[in-house]
């Protein structure tokens, strides 16, 4: 895995985790009873965005370590996930043929 691929993988994981964490424990202004003029009542009263970004970062580091180690290790490949046998067979290393 190249450094660029590792960074892109981390960014994708981080944003996915952030979008999962954002709505957790959300209290809207309407539920809190204090609606700031010019905002909808569904806007968050206290978003705690810094804390949610920290949680997303910690979870993302753990997930990235697991996923990156699987990619680097190479023990699980796309062919392992081909449950329906749709991929063509690998070429035979000894004869250079298609193996079939």
SS (H, E, C) the chain: CCHHHHHHHHHHHHHHHHHHHCCCCCCEHHHHCCCCCCCCCCCECCCCHHHHHHHHHHHHHHHHHHHHHHHHHCCCCHHHHCCCCCCCCCCCCCCCCCCC
What are the pLDDT digits (tens) for 19-47? 999 999 989 998 988 888 999 998 998 88
For residue 17, pLDDT over 90 is answered with yes
Listed by start position, the domains of the chain span 3-81
| Neighbour-count burial of 18, counting CB atoms closer than 10 A to its CB (0-12 exposed, 13-18 middle, 19+ buried) | middle
What are the pLDDT digits (tens) for 33-88? 888 899 999 899 888 899 999 999 999 999 999 999 998 988 888 888 888 988 88
Greater pLDDT, 85 or 10: 10
For residue 100, pLDDT over 60 is answered with no
Query: pLDDT at position 90, please?
Result: 80
Cβ–Cβ < 8 Å for 8, 1: no
């Amino acid at each position: 895995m190249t450094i660029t691929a590792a960074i892109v993988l981390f960014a994708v994981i981080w944003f996915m985790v952030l979008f999962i964490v954002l709505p957790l424990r959300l209290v809207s202004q309407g539920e809190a009873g204090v609606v700031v003029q010019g905002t909808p009542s569904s806007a968050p009263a206290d978003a705690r965005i810094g804390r949610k970004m920290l949680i997303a970062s910690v979870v993302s580091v753990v997930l990235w370590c697991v996923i990156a180690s699987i990619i680097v290790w190479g023990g699980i490949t796309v062919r392992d996930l081909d449950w329906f046998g749709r991929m063509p067979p690998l070429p035979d290393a000894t004869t250079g043929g298609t193996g079939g």
